[in-house]
Amino acid sequence: MERLQKILSRAGVASRREAERWIVEGRVSVNGTIVRKLGSQADPFKDSIKVDGKRIKTGAAPLYFAFHKPPGVITTVNDPQHRPDLTEFVAPLGAKRRVFPVGRLDFNSEGLLLLTNDGEFARRLTHPRFGVKKTYRVKLSACPTDRDLAVLRQGIRLEDGIAAPARARVVEKLRKNAWVEIEIHEGKNREVRRMFGALGYFVEKLIRIRVGAVSLAPLPRGELRPLLQGEIKALKEAVGL
């Protein structure tokens, strides 16, 4: 017996967090009975587990993709508020190759997003214990001072605690502002935006350009590509798989 959210995640239909939301919303049934209680268990080999009336299949072949998320898109494959989401971008993969996003990029941000049907892989990549590095290019409202960059490197206090030390440097000075590259390894909600906001800067644009061994370039906006075997191996090694 296993927890339902774990079964759904491993089957590749959703991340564990999204599976928990589906359970609470009453979209998951076991042997014909709707289950709404988190922590409920089932036998993936014996029980009939359905999402929105469709039975899930366990043991699907693992899939790993890189995606260039455009701004103005919600990082989910099924947004209950019907905002622009990932559905149209993953549709060409077909119904039998369902994937879900690893972590999140907020609505206004763009850049590299990993997609998979491997629940354990996704869970570990987003867990702060493994410290997978993520790199961003950020256009700020002003050019940051050396002192402010030093604060980021030491760890800055946010409303939910101190953000871990981050590598940060100015990569392009403009007339009134600048592009900054920053590398973090935690993954708190809207962390990069909040870090610069705590220093008094407004983030005008945010692009994630790297996750671990995987780089965004030269993937165009809205495009998918399968991860290379070397990239998959490097990511799995980074999280102990």
Cα 182 to Cα 144: distance, rounded to the nearest angstrom: 12
What's the predicted TM-score (pTM) here?
A: 0.77
Provide the 3-class DSSP secondary structure of residue 189.
coil
Provide the 3-class DSSP secondary structure of residue 215.
strand
Which residues in 98-112 are b (16+ Cβ under 10 Å) and which e? bbbbbbbbeeebbbb
CA 90 to chain centre: 15
Other Cβ atoms less than 10 A from the Cβ of 119: the count is: 23
* 198 class by beta-carbon count within 10 Å (0-12 exposed, 13-18 middle, 19+ buried): middle
Domains of the chain: 2-55 (3.10.290.10), 64-128+221-238 (3.30.70.580), 133-211 (3.30.70.1560)
Provide the 3-class DSSP secondary structure of residue 197.
helix
What torsion, rounded to 10 degrees, do the Cα atoms 71, 85, 120, 165 define? 20
> Residue 139's closest CA among 202, 68, 185, 221?
202
- Per-residue pLDDT tens digits of the chain, which is 241 residues long: 788 888 888 777 778 888 899 999 999 999 999 999 998 998 877 788 999 998 887 666 789 999 999 999 999 888 888 899 999 999 988 876 788 899 889 999 999 999 998 888 888 898 888 889 999 999 999 999 999 999 999 999 898 888 889 999 999 999 999 999 999 988 778 899 999 999 999 999 999 999 999 999 999 999 999 999 999 999 999 999 8
In sequence order, the 6+-apart residues with CB closer than 8 A to the CB of 200 are none
Residue 98 pLDDT: 81
Residue 58 pLDDT: 66
Residues with a catalytic annotation lie at: 106
Cα 140 to Cα 121: distance, rounded to the nearest angstrom: 33
Pair 117, 15: CB distance under 8 Å: no
5, amino acid identity: Q
Q: Using DSSP bridges, classify how beta strands 100-101 and 110-116 pair: parallel, antiparallel or unpaired.
A: antiparallel
